[in-house]
Amino acid sequence: MEIHTQYDQYIEVHKYYAGAVFGVVILALALEALLPVYFRSAAILELPLLVTIYFGLSRRNPSSGLLLGMVIGLAQDSLGHTPFGMYGIAKTAVGFVASSFGSRIDVEHPISRFLLTFVFFHLHNAVLVVTNRLLLGQHEPYLEMKLMIASIVNSAVAVVFFAVLDKLRKP
């Protein structure tokens, strides 16, 4: 005997074509590494974070969001200049929280995608700052004008980027 609540009909877990998640992650990591070399202003984009948020929100499974965030974060750590594990910790937290939120609210509307990305961008930065202060003993400022601009830009990019990634879903 199955028990259904009134909310069961609204929760939709999206499935993707084989290799779509892997391909998007690799592409995001490659663009994260290459774009700032050719376009200095592209350094403001945090594509691996946007991929973590998107698949976390759409998969709606905290375990898979946590694991995806961890893998993307550690891969980003291996390509970047930060101490190994910093992005892994931050993206693990974001992947888990995004997956938890995805099962409770409407994440398909562009305004909700913008606002959620804005919040998750700041959560990601907060985890990075706290980890930097506690583990490395480095003082890093939390709120700066550059961070606010980056969060707004990434949130706007996320609205368009998420619509493109929606095309990878299985019908």
Rounded to two decimals, the pTM is: 0.89
Q: Is 60 left (phi over 0), alpha (psi -120 to 50) or beta?
A: left
Question: What is the pLDDT at residue 7?
Answer: 47
* DSSP reduced 3-state for 16: strand
Is the pLDDT at 150 greater than 60? The verdict is: yes
User: What structural domains does the chain harbor?
Assistant: 15-168 (1.10.1760)
Residue 1 banded pLDDT, cuts 50, 70, 90: very low
pLDDT tens digit string along 8-58?
445 566 788 889 999 999 999 999 999 999 999 999 999 999 999 999 998
Contact 72, 48 (CB under 8 A): yes
Is the pLDDT at 59 greater than 80? The verdict is: yes
Question: What is the pLDDT at residue 14?
Answer: 75
Question: What is the pLDDT at residue 4?
Answer: 46
The tokens for 42 are: 């592209």
Nearest to 119 by CA among 49, 55, 58, 33: 49
Question: What is the pLDDT at residue 102?
Answer: 78
CA distance 57 to 54: 5
Q: What is the mean pLDDT of the chain?
A: 89
Nearest to 124 by CA among 100, 97, 102, 149: 97
The tokens for 105 are: 């609210």
CA distance 89 to 84: 10
Please give the average per-residue pLDDT across 107-112, as a whole number.
89
Alpha helices in the chain (DSSP H): 20-38, 47-59, 62-79, 86-102, 110-135, 145-165
Residue 136 banded pLDDT, cuts 50, 70, 90: confident
